[in-house]
């Protein structure tokens, strides 16, 4: 439970989403990534609510208490974007500002393209929007990895393989993964390429204690959730990368018209320098673009005050019209 919030259920086509919410005012929807929960936004709720916003964060499908459908295709971006639209409708129909982190980022961008009438502003942490790839992404990743290594997204494709690895020791798996791509890990403990024939977890170092920005209680919140849900749902998001590419063919030349925000860390291994450099081409109304020096992948948790301030600057600028509605 995120302090100061209430929880409710939002249902769409038999899928139930556990949603955390608080406040009144213009609607702000916060979308988490892998392997996280709505809890990853715990630091942002209070300040955004105090600033006059209605803040909503679902545990997305496959996570926490939310539904985890059996079919892999149920986790395609098209379905995830419809979930976002259903959440917005449940809380009044918008217009909403939607901000996503990690996997929540492509969900936010895709939702803005599919549902422009419901979303008036959009942003992401860590993962920028990018033009549609010239070929199926999985094939490009395999080619880039070369013969000696396996791209982690490719490694995640075999159902059951990574689930078994992660679920053998949920705490160590989460802590090692969090540490390896945080801004705190020294160079020799950062995530390493996966050698063919090795396990994904062989590329991680499990530290003796969580980083300073993640308390033992925070870590146990994640551990308890993933012991309950397992990792299958979250991993199925990765198993749709080619399907997402195919289903977005009609958006190949689309640009995100809404005012937008992008924030990343200088030590985030998910950074895509080419996509960041070309972000203005696909997001022409980019109002905020920031790099947090020394920050890793877990942006809103590693640098909560800085991220919250950037969000407030952006939301206060783009939500004035919504406040008068």
- Is 297 among the residues known to form the active site? yes
| CA dist 143 → 147, 202, 271 (Å) | 8, 22, 19
Measure CA 124 to chain center.
8
In sequence order, the β-bridge partners of residue 27 are 54, 96
Which token pair is 221? 């919140």
Q: Tell which residue, 216, 218, 180, has the closest CA to residue 200.
A: 180
Q: Which listed residue (101, 110, 129, 297) is catalytic?
A: 297
In the numeric block, the tokens 């705190």 are attached to: 184
Quick one: CA torsion of 27, 30, 31, 37, rounded to 10 degrees? -130
| CA dist 299 → 3, 184, 192, 305 (Å) | 20, 12, 20, 10
Within 10 Å of residue 147's Cβ, how many Cβ atoms? Answer: 5
> Taking CA 254 as the corner, what is the angle to CA 248 and CA 258, rounded to the nearest 5 degrees?
115
Count of alpha carbons within 13 angstroms of residue 230, beta-carbon side: 15
Q: Which listed residue (102, 154, 184, 268) is catalytic?
A: 102
- Is 13 among the residues known to form the active site? no
Query: Which active-site residues does the annotation give?
Result: 102, 297
């Amino acid at each position: 439970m995120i302090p100061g919030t209430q929880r409710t259920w939002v249902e769409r086509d038999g899928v139930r989403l556990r949603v955390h919410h608080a406040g009144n005012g213009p609607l702000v929807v916060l979308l988490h990534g892998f392997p996280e929960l709505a809890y990853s936004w715990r630091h942002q709720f209070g300040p955004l609510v105090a600033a006059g916003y209605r803040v909503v964060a679902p545990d997305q499908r496959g996570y926490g208490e939310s539904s985890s459908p059996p079919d892999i295709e149920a986790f395609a971006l098209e379905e995830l974007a419809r979930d976002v639209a259903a959440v917005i409708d449940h809380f009044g129909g918008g217009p909403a500002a939607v901000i996503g982190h990690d996997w929540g980022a492509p969900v936010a961008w895709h939702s803005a393209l599919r549902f422009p009438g419901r979303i008036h502003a959009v942003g992401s942490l860590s993962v920028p929007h990018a033009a549609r790839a010239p070929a199926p992404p999985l094939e490009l990743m395999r080619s880039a990895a070369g013969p000696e290594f396996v791209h982690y997204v490719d490694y995640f494709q075999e159902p059951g393989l990574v689930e078994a690895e992660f679920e053998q020791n949920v705490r160590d798996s989460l802590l090692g993964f969090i540490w390896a791509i945080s801004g705190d890990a020294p160079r020799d403990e950062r995530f390493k390429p996966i050698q063919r024939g090795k396990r994904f977890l062989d590329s991680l170092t499990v530290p003796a204690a969580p980083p300073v920005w993640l308390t033992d209680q925070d870590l146990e919140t994640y551990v308890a959730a993933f012991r309950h849900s397992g990792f299958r749902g979250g991993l199925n998001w990765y198993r749709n990368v080619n399907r997402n590419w195919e289903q977005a063919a009609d958006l190949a030349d689309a640009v995100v018209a809404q005012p937008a925000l992008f924030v990343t860390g200088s030590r985030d291994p998910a950074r895509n320098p080419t996509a960041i450099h070309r972000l203005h081409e696909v997001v022409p109304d980019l109002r905020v673009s920031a790099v947090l020096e020394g920050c890793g992948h877990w942006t809103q948790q590693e640098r909560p005050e800085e991220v919250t301030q950037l969000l407030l600057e952006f939301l206060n600028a783009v939500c004035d019209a919504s406040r008068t509605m």
